[in-house]
Amino acid sequence: MMRGMGNMQGMMKQMQKMQKEMVKEQEALNGKEFLGEATNGYVKARFTGDRKMIGIDIAEAIIDPEDPEMLQDLITMAVNDALSKIEGETERTMGKYTKGLPGF
């Protein structure tokens, strides 16, 4: 009976250690900056790892009052590029903790 309790305590310690590692890696990921770019770098969107936009740069040469749709498309491309990079990095760093868990 005591042997089972020892194994349970060992598992709990291992889970606590893994949880601390997850929190540390998530905080590091959240602190990283990701840059998404549209065609030729005309639009650049900057995000933190927790998917908060911290800036957007638009090349003045690309601003055409006669064609706002093009600028909208470039912004969308840059934002999606940044979010895709965040998703890839999240999977790379946090995926080891969620592989095999239901819903992940």
For residue 55, what is the domain's CATH number?
3.30.1310.10
* In-domain check, residue 103: no
**Does residue 52 form part of some domain?**
yes
pLDDT in tens, the chain (104 residues): 456 667 888 888 888 988 899 999 999 999 999 999 999 999 999 999 999 999 999 999 999 999 999 999 999 999 999 999 999 999 998 888 777 666 65
Three-state SS for the chain is CHHHHHHHHHHHHHHHHHHHHHHHHHHHHHHCEEEEECHHHCEEEEEECCCCEEEEEECHHHCCCCCHHHHHHHHHHHHHHHHHHHHHHHHHHHHHHHCCCCCC
Residue 104 lies in a domain: no
Q: In what order do the strands lie in the sheet with 33-37?
A: 33-37, 43-48, 53-58
Q: What range does the domain containing 73 cover?
A: 2-98
Give the model's pLDDT for residue 96: 81
DSSP 41: G
Q: Give domain status of residue 76, yes or no.
A: yes
33 in a domain, yes or no? Answer: yes
| Predicted local distance difference test score (pLDDT) of residue 4 | 61
Sorted by sequence, the CB contacts under 8 Å of residue 19 that are 6+ apart come out as none
**Structural domains of the chain, count:** 1
